[in-house]
Chain A
Amino acid sequence: MKNRITELRAERRWTQADLAQRAEVSRQTINAVETGKFDPSLPLAFRLARLFEMTIEEIFIDEQ
C-alpha cells in the first residue's frame, strides 16, 4: 500500500523519530510504513491521520 507519510512529514519538518514519538511507535515502524514494507493497523492509521489532520484515504492509497 502506497502512502504520503514521507511527504507529509517533510512538510511539517518532522523527522521519523518525531513522528514515531507522536504516534507512540518505534522509528523502525515509521520507516517500514513509509517504504511500504509494512502496512499499519487501523488504530495506527487513525493515529497518523489525526496527527496529520487528514483522513486515512488522503494518506494511504489503495493500489488494488
Chain B
Amino acid sequence: MHIRNEIRASAQLVLWTFAWVASLALAKFGPQFLWDPSRQAASWTAVALNVAAGACWIIAFTRFLRALDELQRKIMLEALAITLGVGWVTGLAYVVADTAGLVARDVDVAALPAFTGVVFVVAFAVGKIRYR
C-alpha cells in the first residue's frame, strides 16, 4: 500500500514536471515560433498555463513528500534546505558583488536553477549515503 502510494505520487510528480517544462517552453518560444509576438492574448494564455502547471507541480511535489517514508522525507527535506540556503547565500553574494562592481561578467539568470539543481542532487546523494 505504502509503496503503491509512493509510486503513484512519483508518477504524478514526473507528469507535472514534464507539463511544467513543456508549458515553460511554450511560453518562452511560442511568441517567436508559434504565434506573432503582437498577439499578446496568446502570450498571456501561455504564461497563465505555465503558472497553472507550476502550481500543480508544487501540489504534486507536496503529495510526493507526504507519500515518502519518514527517513526518505528527512533526507529530501535536508537536501531542499541545503539547496535553498546555498541558493540564497550564493544569489545574494552575487548581487552584492555585482553592485560593488566586482563581477566582470553578467551571469544568465537561468544559471541559478541549474546551479541549485546540482546542489540538490549532491545534497540528496550525501543524505542517501549518510543514512545508508
Contact = CB atoms under 8 A, between A and B. Distances in A.
* Chain A interface SS verdict (over half): loop
B132 A28 contact: yes
A64 interface: no
Count class of interface residues, chain A? 10 to 19
* Chain B interface SS verdict (over half): helix
Contacts of B2: 24-25
Interface in A20-38: 24-26, 28-29, 31-32, 37-38
B131 A37 contact: yes
A29 B1 contact: no
Interface of B: 1-2, 69-72, 74, 128, 130-132
Interface of A: 24-26, 28-29, 31-32, 37-38, 40-41, 44
